Amino acid sequence: MTAPSLPSPGPRVVRTTCPYCAVQCNFDVHVENGLAVKLMPTKECPVARGTVCKKGLAALNDLRHPERLTDPLLRKNGQLVPVSWAEALAYVRDALTPLLDSNPAAVGVYGSGSLTNEKTYLLGKFARLALKTPNIDYNGRYCMASASAALNRTVGYDRGLGFPLGEMAGSDLILLVGANIAETLPPIMQYLKAAKDRGGAVYSIDPRATVTAKVAGHHLAVRPGSDGVLALGLIHLMKRWGKIRPTAPAHGLAEVLAQATAYPSQRVAAECGIPESELLLLAKRYAEATKPLILTGRGAEQHAHGTDTVQAWLNLSYLTGHFGKPGGGYGTLTGQGNGQGGREHGQKNDQLPGARSLRDPRHRAEMAALWGCAPDDLPQPGLSAQNLLNACGQDGGIEALIVLGSNPVVSAAGAGQITENLKALKHLIVIDFLPSETAKLATLVLPGGMWCEEEGTTTNLEGRVQRRRKAITAPGAAREDWRILCDLAAAVGRPQGFEYASFRELQDEFFRATRGGKADYSGLSAERLDRASVQWPVRHADGPDTPHAYAPTYPTADGWATLHVPELPAPAPARQLTLTTGRLGHHYQSGTQTRRNTALLSKNGADHGVQVHPETARDYGLRVGEEVILRTAHGQVTLPLTLNPGLRPDTVFLPFHWPGAANLLTDPHTLDPHSQMPAFKATAVTLLPAHAAVFPSARSGLEVVLG
């Protein structure tokens, strides 16, 4: 492998993409003396059009953080201490080679939706070709996996948004189902406002009156987990009112319509916890709209029935003839920076590059031919993300785990148990650029590159592929992640296929690897992306891209869609208090970067408190700032109380960006059968004052506090 090229030391301006959300805003990084000194948004960005949120604007702080990892760290006598790369890679050789020789499945790989497409591709290739392990998955399982599963089983295809974001402005009704875009995808708000300015109506369907709900103007505060029931109620009314006109012939139409018969408006309003009049008004607006658009987010998807919830909304869009139409239809709002590309190119447990299936013999043969191995040499699908973490450190399970760009100690369901699992591993190797909570548990930490220290491509939430350009060189002994993966392959004695002369050689191989797949990038090159971004599939170097992805016929066996009957759980007991989790606008994911960024920290320090409705606080005799206990079947936390009058009284909200908080309480074992998504958004919870020994509750009777 050749030595990395160094950027010119003179003043330069380099255009690249933001490291945060899936909008993937473009901005110009001003570089002087090899350092990034200023960041400026550009109006030439095809999506954000010159806007960048406060996280993006503060991103330079992350590059300069004093905790930046610049040397490999090896655990000796219980402490992580700096070592040379030679010693670090010798540890990898001695730790992993015996396992790979005897039981490759005992080695796991855990990736990230923040990786570039090229790193996603290389990580999957590394796991299956160098490690020969079936056990690779990534934190995108916790993001849009339910919507991805629903789209794939319905139309054989998953491109999140199948249309350009600008078309939102032409929609006359937008339903945001569990999607708080003002705080999670802020630049998209310009399109919501444009739709409203044209006379469109915007609904936020969410247990919380979020910032998005306030801008939308219409808020349906449904019970957590009842979103799918609401969709079935709308299908029922569309059927009654003669509004069923499917997009195209499809399997399952009769069965789906038959199910909706059992969901009259009275039942739906009761189960969702909303007035029937509000349901009927929404239904009337949907029936009259010419371009209604349904957008689901994590609030609808992060449930043990998340795939079926999305399925219900997909069915509604398809049955009423709007799915796949410009300016209307259905889409899922991908959250992570490269959440779309990250779920297409091989780091999912059952996937090969180009959104191919690891179970398909033809797809296995295609990839084996490119990689120079036999199809049978490729392992079958292994454990998905939560099951992979659950198996860590367990008898007969995972003995060594390699983590790239993820922090499951904070982000995984049942985080307390997952932390203990990771501690029980023989070897935990973490590649990161800041000391995350997961890195602090590692036996070996390898210092990786940050967003403007690497080349690559990312794919935003509308399937738009853009270039990420290198502006500066990683500090100290830190290396670009793709080089580290190649170093690891060499360390375990399997360098074949990982001896790239340059990044460009890797990138060109990645583009070739997608040829013929559903997510086909084979018509791309760095030169083409320098001219303009494109929406996949792009099958020829001189051919067009695909702004609209969901027009029939579909990439299914017969070209037809298949609508499935959603299987939704019974409603929660009326008096049950439910915990739901989510994001805050100035933080991101597990907070590894944003919790360290002084420009993003709250001045009052109350960001991570428990949010309840004032009525709930009165019922429980609680005061603002008081320490309270939240207890579920999976764990317990003690945090200060804050009031949120925009929250349902039967719902408790907790942001998930902090360790020792939200995900100590979520269920690590009950997963969506289709997507393997944990139930982050609805967990039965008990609320207790931390100071009381015996606590009387107007809602739940007498609660005894032990200890």
What DSSP assignment string belongs to 630-658? Answer: EEETTEEEEEEEEE-TTB-TTEEEEESSS
Coil/strand/helix, residue 402 = strand
What is the CATH topology of the domain spanning 73-142+340-535?
A: Rossmann fold (3.40.50)
**pLDDT surpasses 60 at 687:** yes
The superfamily in CATH containing domain 12-63 is: ADC-like domains (2.20.25.90)
Domain ranges across the chain: 12-63, 73-142+340-535, 145-332, 578-704
List the one residue out of 680, 684, 685, 20 whose CA is nearest residue 299: 680
Residue-wise pLDDT tens digits, 545-583: 999 999 899 999 999 999 999 999 988 887 889 999 988
Report the alpha-carbon distance of residue 631 to residue 629 in Å, rounded: 6
Pair 182, 212: CB distance under 8 Å: yes
The bridge status of strand 79-82 relative to strand 73-76 is antiparallel
How many residues would you count in the chain?
707
- The Cβ-side half-sphere exposure at 80, using a 13 Å CA radius, reads 18
* DSSP result, 501-523: SSHHHHHHHHHHHTTTSSS--TT
List the one residue out of 408, 445, 405, 443 whose CA is nearest residue 423: 443
Q: List CB contacts of 581: < 8 A, sequence separation 6 or more.
A: 653, 654, 655, 656, 662, 663, 666, 680, 681
Segment holding 36, helix H or strand E: strand 35-41
Q: List CB contacts of 281: < 8 A, sequence separation 6 or more.
A: none
Residue-averaged pLDDT of the chain:
92
Instruction: State the angle between helix axes of 227-240 and 276-288 in degrees (0 to 180), rounded to the nearest 10.
Output: 60
Going by pLDDT thresholds of 50, 70 and 90, the confidence category of residue 692 is low
Residues in a beta bridge with 439: none
List the one residue out of 678, 564, 574 whose CA is nearest residue 232: 564
Segment holding 12, helix H or strand E: strand 12-17
List the one residue out of 543, 405, 522 whose CA is nearest residue 465: 522
Rounded to 5 degrees, φ, ψ at 27 are -150, 165
Residue-wise pLDDT tens digits, 36-61: 999 999 999 999 898 888 888 888 88
Cis bond leading into 332, ω under 30°? no
Report the alpha-carbon distance of residue 101 to residue 296 in Å, rounded: 45
Determine the average pLDDT of the residues in 441-448: 98
Report the alpha-carbon distance of residue 344 to residue 536 in Å, rounded: 11
List the one residue out of 152, 142, 143 whose CA is nearest residue 564: 152
List the one residue out of 547, 503, 582 whose CA is nearest residue 301: 582
Report the alpha-carbon distance of residue 506 to residue 509 in Å, rounded: 5
Coil/strand/helix, residue 519 = coil
Both tokens of residue 9? 């030391």
List the one residue out of 297, 55, 294, 36 whose CA is nearest residue 187: 55
DSSP 146: H
Report the alpha-carbon distance of residue 426 to residue 666 in Å, rounded: 26
Going by pLDDT thresholds of 50, 70 and 90, the confidence category of residue 9 is low
Report the alpha-carbon distance of residue 296 to residue 175 in Å, rounded: 8
Instruction: State the angle between helix axes of 481-491 and 85-102 in degrees (0 to 180), rounded to the nearest 10.
Output: 60
Q: What pLDDT, on the 0 to 100 scale, is given for residue 651? A: 95
Pair 231, 563: CB distance under 8 Å: no
Q: What pLDDT, on the 0 to 100 scale, is given for residue 698? A: 33
User: At 33, which amino acid appears?
Assistant: N
List the one residue out of 432, 458, 258 whose CA is nearest residue 339: 458
Place of tokens 């060594």: 400
Q: What pLDDT, on the 0 to 100 scale, is given for residue 555? A: 93
Going by pLDDT thresholds of 50, 70 and 90, the confidence category of residue 316 is very high
Determine the average pLDDT of the residues in 455-473: 96
Pair 647, 299: CB distance under 8 Å: no
C-alpha of 347 from chain center = 13
Place of tokens 């804050």: 642
Report the alpha-carbon distance of residue 400 to residue 625 in Å, rounded: 42
**pLDDT surpasses 60 at 2:** no
**pLDDT surpasses 60 at 603:** no
Phi-psi category of residue 393: left, alpha or beta, with phi > 0 → left and psi -120 to 50 → alpha: left
Coil/strand/helix, residue 489 = helix
Report the alpha-carbon distance of residue 286 to residue 246 in Å, rounded: 15
% of the chain exceeding 70 in pLDDT: 96
Report the alpha-carbon distance of residue 678 to residue 386 in Å, rounded: 8
Report the alpha-carbon distance of residue 282 to residue 235 in Å, rounded: 12
Place of tokens 């494109």: 534
List the one residue out of 515, 546, 550, 536 whose CA is nearest residue 466: 536
pTM: 0.94
Residues in a beta bridge with 432: 447
Residue-wise pLDDT tens digits, 260-306: 999 999 999 999 999 999 999 999 999 999 999 999 999 999 999 99
Coil/strand/helix, residue 459 = strand
- CATH 1.10.3720.10 corresponds to the domain 145-332: no
Cα Rg, the chain, nearest whole Å: 25
Q: What pLDDT, on the 0 to 100 scale, is given for residue 701? A: 32
Pair 585, 211: CB distance under 8 Å: yes
Going by pLDDT thresholds of 50, 70 and 90, the confidence category of residue 8 is low
Q: Which residue has the higher pLDDT, 143 or 447?
A: 447
The bridge status of strand 578-582 relative to strand 356-357 is unpaired
- CATH 1.10.10.1800 corresponds to the domain 578-704: no
The bridge status of strand 136-138 relative to strand 79-82 is unpaired
**pLDDT surpasses 70 at 693:** no
Q: What pLDDT, on the 0 to 100 scale, is given for residue 584? A: 83
Neighbours of 283 (CB within 10 A): 22
CA-angle at 684, arms to 678 and 687, nearest 5°: 130
Place of tokens 């103007």: 217
Q: What pLDDT, on the 0 to 100 scale, is given for residue 589? A: 81
Pair 530, 455: CB distance under 8 Å: no
Residue-wise pLDDT tens digits, 153-171: 999 999 989 999 999 999 9
